[in-house]
Structure 1
Amino acid sequence: MTWREPTYRLVDGERIDGAWCHVWRRYRPDSEYFLDDLIVFADGAITCGERTDLAGLEKMLATGHLAVTDPATPPRPDEPSKWSSRHGEPLTPEGFLLEVADRIEALSGRPTAGQRLRDAIESFQQEPTDSGRALLRAAYRSVPPHLRIYVLGDMDRQDRPLRILLTDIGDAVDGDGPVVTADMHQDVVDYFGRGDEGVRSEQQRRAVLHADDPSGPGRPALVSHETVYPQGWPEQPGLFMLRNDFPAPVVLAGESYASVSHGYWSLSAADASDRSRIRDAASGREAHELGGRATRRADWPHVRLGVMAELLRAKFTQHPELAEVLVSTGDATISYTGLSDSPFWRDIADGRARNWMGRLLELVRSELVAQRFLRPEGPNVLT
């Protein structure tokens, strides 16, 4: 079963995360099946034509209202040998119920069957007793049967080490496999030990390669809202100063612009007379509207990011008080929202958003801090 994320629903303003997959559904026992979406949510709610829960889903599967595989597809032939097979168990309604329950656990942030199995393996390694093996067997059986071959992440041996370990000495694995010996059990324990050592080695390697990763969580994301001040911009500094239409004159390539918006839209125009009109606009909003109507330079899509970056550098290096506002945001992700700018520049709640303005503001912020760090006085001035 292929699950797709993310999806969600809102309950009293709270976002409940979900995931969805395809199932086959029919309205009546004598009607045709059709493909439909089954959506599960972190709170246990399930929708597929109607709202239900795990118990309701079990009933829908038992009555044939839902099918987990295409009913028109012939069943897969039985494998001649379970031990030799490279395929997982067939997907069944019972296995699908286990998978849905597991998906709910994952969405709600609780341990999944796979995670509980790994914990049981670790516990058995520390204390390889009969009771530990019984707990390991129970954890293994809680994994949906059609997914068990993936639980160890080893596509060569698949889940065979577990099947060997959970088979009593003197019995054949899967009934048609090798007869288990004490040496085979020990080989599996050693196999898990080698895997743990490999994980530790990779963690140590990543610690070296990723040594400059942040050591803890950063600040919460900062949202830069589009603002309107009919009575004029406030005198006290605030985050509104990050907006491109804030009236902070910038000089770039020998030309002066009343704001970043004036500079960006003026430089985008192909005609010199349009560039002058946009540069002299009464406000950043007017410059934006004039620039949107003007014919753009043919190479503008290729240079606009670089031009915007240079305009932002000019704004914050030529106005130290604005630089202080930007630096004060620390390492927070900057979400630049609004309605006027295109999705290329702003952050919106769909797949079109690129949030390049927020990303460039973060870049310039880092450059400002780095400049302070690299001053002749030394690194102690870093804020």
Structure 2
Amino acid sequence: MIGRRTTYRMADGIRVPGTWRHVFIHNFDYHLTDLFIYADGLVDCWGLVTLEQFEEKLRSGWVATELPEGAVASGHELAGWTFAEPRTWLTPELLLAEVRDTVDQLNGRPDSTDRCLAAVDAFLADRTEERREAARDAYLAIPRTRRHYALGDMDRKDWPLQVLVAGPGGRTYRPEDKVVTQEWYDEAVRYFENRAKLFSERSERVPADGPVTPTAPAIQLYESYPLKPSDDPDARALRNNYPAPVDVDGVTYPSVAHAYWALSTSDPDVRSAIAEAEQAYAAQQLAADAPRREGWEQARTAVMTRLLRAKFAQHPALARILLATDDATIVYDDGDSGYWGDNGGRGRNWTGRLLELVRSELHAESTGIGTA
């Protein structure tokens, strides 16, 4: 279900990943809308509900799986129509099973398909009737709408799986199918044996650029005022307003933020005043009332990159703090700027991204890997 449909919602400042699918909501008429499913088990069907509450919405018909002939339907600000000869492939049980699978997938847990394939592996390792029945039960636990995707084989679909769990002389779950022959069964066994060999060879290959980390950990650099120098600073020292003097072209500024605001203005007197400002906030206020340098908006990212490089080159202790973040995603809050800050997922987080760039350069320097 997830595919490429990815979204998220914010909860207590944390992104909760999610996905969506189309459904009909039955509220007087039938409304075509999106059903949002989130990793924490909440479902948005015109309001956030738990999985148990979602099941109640299904049973009551609020989330509709039956579309009666002649019912009026609409897509919000898109179209309206009346059902004629409607067909639906879903039941409340099927849709609930799909949603539960989706929550498992969003959390990286085995879903019904994974559990089925694990039961199949157990059967192939010890081919008893008891294990075959377990594999069959696990297969039938996959939502019927998802079974033909279980093997990821667009040519055979799930046919080898149906045959294997049915066994010679048995029948698949579809009543119209014929009795499974020994020849079919042997072919299904060979299919899974070849599949296991292929997967084994694939798992032994290591990507040339190293293994992929599914989701890097994150460090949140919250706004904090006022920041004071410390002999043993923590990650707050990575913030631009941390008092770590930076020398730029022979002028020393109290912090990266001071230097940034000074370089943003074309007025030399204001630049001098900013260099003398006690707090970064005062520096920002001075710059706000001064004329901006021509082309500043297009050049500011390069300027900030230069300033961050200078900060960590001139303060080795702070560079060690940045290096200690390893490969973490750096989420930088900046209440004044949606460009520099992440700001609850609404900003572009350029400061966080540039800190990660400078960190990578420091790693390259420390290991002797050239970046020129």
Tell me the TM-score normalized by structure 2.
Answer: 0.75
Q: Which moved more, 1:172-181 or 1:142-151?
A: 172-181
Alignment-derived partner of residue 75 in structure 2: none
Q: Note the aligned Cα RMSD (angstroms).
A: 4.1
Q: Is the 8 A contact 2:229 2:242 kept in 1?
A: no
Amino acid in structure 2 at the alignment position of 1:368: L
Cα distance in structure 2, aligned partners of 1:213 and 1:103 = 22
Q: Is the 8 A contact 2:9 2:15 kept in 1?
A: no
> 1:145 offset after TM fit, Å?
0.8
Alignment-derived partner of residue 347 in structure 1: 342
Cα distance in structure 1, aligned partners of 2:190 and 2:263 = 67
Alignment-derived partner of residue 89 in structure 2: 90
Q: Is the 8 A contact 1:24 1:69 kept in 2?
A: no
Question: Number of matched residues?
Answer: 352
> 1:330 offset after TM fit, Å?
4.8
Cα distance in structure 1, aligned partners of 2:212 and 2:137 = 39
Q: Secondary structure at the match of 1:135?
A: helix
> 1:309 offset after TM fit, Å?
1.7
Cα distance in structure 2, aligned partners of 1:15 and 1:336 = 14
1:192 and 2:178 correspond: no
Alignment-derived partner of residue 32 in structure 1: 29
> 1:365 offset after TM fit, Å?
3.5
Cα distance in structure 2, aligned partners of 1:203 and 1:158 = 23
Alignment-derived partner of residue 8 in structure 2: 6
Alignment-derived partner of residue 304 in structure 1: 300
Alignment-derived partner of residue 182 in structure 1: 182
Aligned pair in 2 of structure 1 residues 312, 110: CA closer, same or farther (>3 Å)?
closer
Cα distance in structure 2, aligned partners of 1:235 and 1:50 = 47
Share of identical aligned residues, percent? 38
Q: Show CA shifts across 1:166-222 (max 9, x none).
A: 4453577645567643222122122122222222222222x24243768x998x643
Alignment-derived partner of residue 242 in structure 2: 246
1:290 and 2:289 correspond: no
Q: Is the 8 A contact 1:8 1:41 kept in 2?
A: no
Q: Is the 8 A contact 1:237 1:325 kept in 2?
A: no
Q: Is the 8 A contact 1:327 1:369 kept in 2?
A: yes
Cα distance in structure 1, aligned partners of 2:11 and 2:230 = 41
> 5 Å matches for 1:1-383?
5-7=7-9, 21-27=21-27, 31-35=28-32, 48=45, 60-62=57-59, 64-68=61-65, 71=68, 72-74=82-84, 90-106=89-105, 111-169=110-168, 174=174, 180-205=180-205, 207-211=206-210, 221-229=218-226, 233-239=228-234, 240-270=236-266, 275=271, 278-279=274-275, 281-340=277-336, 342-350=337-345, 352-374=346-368
> 1:327 offset after TM fit, Å?
4.0
Cα distance in structure 2, aligned partners of 1:197 and 1:168 = 22
> 1:67 offset after TM fit, Å?
0.9
Q: Is the 8 A contact 2:8 2:16 kept in 1?
A: no
Cα distance in structure 1, aligned partners of 2:50 and 2:355 = 45
Cα distance in structure 2, aligned partners of 1:264 and 1:303 = 11
Q: Is the 8 A contact 1:151 1:159 kept in 2?
A: yes
Amino acid in structure 2 at the alignment position of 1:67: A
Q: Is the 8 A contact 1:312 1:361 kept in 2?
A: yes
Unaligned runs of 5+ in 1: 78-88, 376-383
> 1:289 offset after TM fit, Å?
2.5
Q: Is the 8 A contact 2:37 2:99 kept in 1?
A: yes
Q: Is the 8 A contact 1:312 1:364 kept in 2?
A: yes
Q: Is the 8 A contact 2:67 2:86 kept in 1?
A: no
Q: Show CA shifts across 1:33-75 (max 9, x none).
A: 2345656677867664688766765565455443136655445
Aligned pair in 2 of structure 1 residues 183, 301: CA closer, same or farther (>3 Å)?
farther
Cα distance in structure 1, aligned partners of 2:54 and 2:324 = 51
> 1:132 offset after TM fit, Å?
2.4
Q: Is the 8 A contact 1:61 1:93 kept in 2?
A: yes
Q: Is the 8 A contact 2:104 2:111 kept in 1?
A: yes
Cα distance in structure 2, aligned partners of 1:212 and 1:102 = 26
> 1:143 offset after TM fit, Å?
0.8
Alignment-derived partner of residue 83 in structure 1: none
Aligned pair in 2 of structure 1 residues 299, 203: CA closer, same or farther (>3 Å)?
farther
Cα distance in structure 1, aligned partners of 2:318 and 2:56 = 63
Cα distance in structure 2, aligned partners of 1:184 and 1:361 = 59
Cα distance in structure 1, aligned partners of 2:315 and 2:60 = 71
